[in-house]
Amino acid sequence: MTQGESPLGQALQRLAIMQESTTALQRQQSEALLEIASSQREDRALLRELLQCPAAREAEPVTNPARPPQIALQKMSADDDPEAYLDIFEGTAAACGWPEEWAVRLLPLLSRGERS
C-alpha cells in the first residue's frame, strides 16, 4: 500500500489479502477432508471384509476357556470403597469370562477387614 492511496483503495487491498488467505485455508481444509474420507472408505472396506467372514472368526477361539486370561488386579486397600471395588471386580470377571466361582480370585485381593 502506498501513502497516496485512497482509504477505499487500502480497504480493497486488505480485502484482497484476506480473500487470498481464506482461499488458502479452504484449500487446506478440503485436502484434509479428502484424506479423512479416503481413510473412512478404507476403514469401511476393512469392516465389510471382517463382517463377511464370521465363520473364520468363530473358528478361532479368543481365549482358552480352560485357562482364563491373566489379568493383574490390585489388592484392595483400606482407602478403597468396597462397593466400587466389588463392582470393578465383577465387571472384570464378566469381561474375562471367569466362571461363577471367582470368589477364589477375590479373597486374596481383599483387605483383612473386608473379608467378613
Domain ranges of the chain: 7-59, 63-116
34 close to 50: Cβ distance less than 8 angstroms: no
Q: 20-55 pLDDT, tens per residue?
A: 999 999 999 999 999 999 999 999 988 888 888 765
Cα distance between residue 28 and residue 34, in whole Å: 10
Percentage of the chain exceeding pLDDT 70:
74
Mean pLDDT of 62-72: 59
Q: Provide the strand spans (E) within 7-46.
A: none
Q: Give the best-scoring range by mean pLDDT among 10-14, 91-95, 106-110.
A: 10-14
Mean pLDDT of 60-87: 70
Work out the pLDDT band at 116, boundaries 50, 70, 90. Answer: very low
* Residue tagged 478361532 (cell numbers): 60
